[in-house]
Each structure stands twice: as C-alpha cells, then as structure tokens.
Amino acid sequence: MRSDVKSKPGHIGIIMDGNGRWATKRLLPRVAGHRAGVKNITPVVSCALEYGVGCVTLFAFSTENKERPKDEVDSLIDLIRKRLKPMTRELIERGARVMFSGAREYFPSDVQGIMADVENENTDPNAQIVNIAINYSGRSEIIRACKIAAEKGDISANGIERELYTYGIPDPDMIIRTGGEKRLSNFLLYQAAYSELFFTDTLWPDFGESELSAMFEEYATRSRRFGRV
C-alpha cells in the first residue's frame, strides 16, 4: 500500500439495494421491505461514523425509481414524509450534519420542507456528513453541472465540480452495493472515478455492522494508485 494513502476511508457511498426482494422472500408487500431498509440506515451509518468516516452518501431514491408502479412510488414518498425526521434524529444528535443530493423539486412541498428542516438542524461545516441522494441521477447531475458551469463561463474541471451536488465533499473512497448486483446504477458517476468497489449478496435490511467492518478491513489492504505506479 502506498504510504501516502490513508487506510481509512474518508467518504463511503452505499447503494442500499434489495429491500423489495427482502420483502418478497418473506411474502410481504414490497413497501415492508422499504420500511425495513429505512430502519437499518441508522445503525449502519452510526457504525461508519464511529469508525471515523467523514461522509456517508446513501442512494435512497433514484430518478429511475419514479418509473416503478405508482402505488410503490407513492408509498416511498410517504415513507420519506413519515420517517425522514425520526431516522435522522439520532444521527444529528450524535453530531452529524444531514444534507441531500438530487432534484428535490420533484417531491411535494411538504416533503421538501421536511428536507430543509433536517438540513437546518445542524449546519456545522466541520461535522461528519450524512448525504442522502434522493431523486438522484449521476448523469443528470453531470449535465446540470456542465450547463451551470457553461452559463458562468467556466467549463474547466474545477468549474464543473463546483456545480456538483457534492461540492466540498471529497470523492468517495469506497462504494458499497448490497443485494447481489454488481453495477453503479447511475450513482456518483463523476465522483466514483477511483472509488474502491465492494459488492455483497446480502440484502440491505440484513446488512450490518460485522459485514461493514469486514469491508473496512479489506479496504485497508487495497493499494490505491490513482493511475500511478
């Protein structure tokens, strides 16, 4: 391992996949899986923050998720409406700052208001961050950033990066995907250029501290050269 590369990730991204399949395996409606998935967020994120991770980005709701059956989408939005504040309360109480990445204007005004309230509960710029990607698309983020950068007359790498939702946050060192699929699915496409990728068959509601800790241990053994020798 390069001596100048830290063995502890500063930023991890998590694609929380497998909620629906978790419910189907138990002969439950898919929304029950989403509820179980939301319940699992706080303990997993708390584990990462206790480990010293500076930012955890959660892929909570993709732009493509809107193409699911209307009743499932409505249930997801209602879950956000009812569970977002309770879910983030413990994380905020432990000192974390919650932010959101994505086109939040898609959501009803009351849900947007809940997001704003959560963001305003802790604005400490030095706090650990829980970044929730919601109505998020990596491709759309890049296109949006390029358009704004062009309007400002600066289409350099720095000019584009300043318009990304994640501006000010280091690129993710690790990206974890649960649920058995092995792809990024439009998640942090610009930021993930040199992320270490971790995949597990474990469905998100069953993913826990022991498996996350094992991934951190493996991460510490990987050599990150960023294109260099």
Active site amino acids: 17, 65
What residues form DSSP beta bridges with 57? 13, 131
The angle, 0 to 180 degrees and rounded to 10, between the axes of the packed helices 30-51 and 70-93 is 30
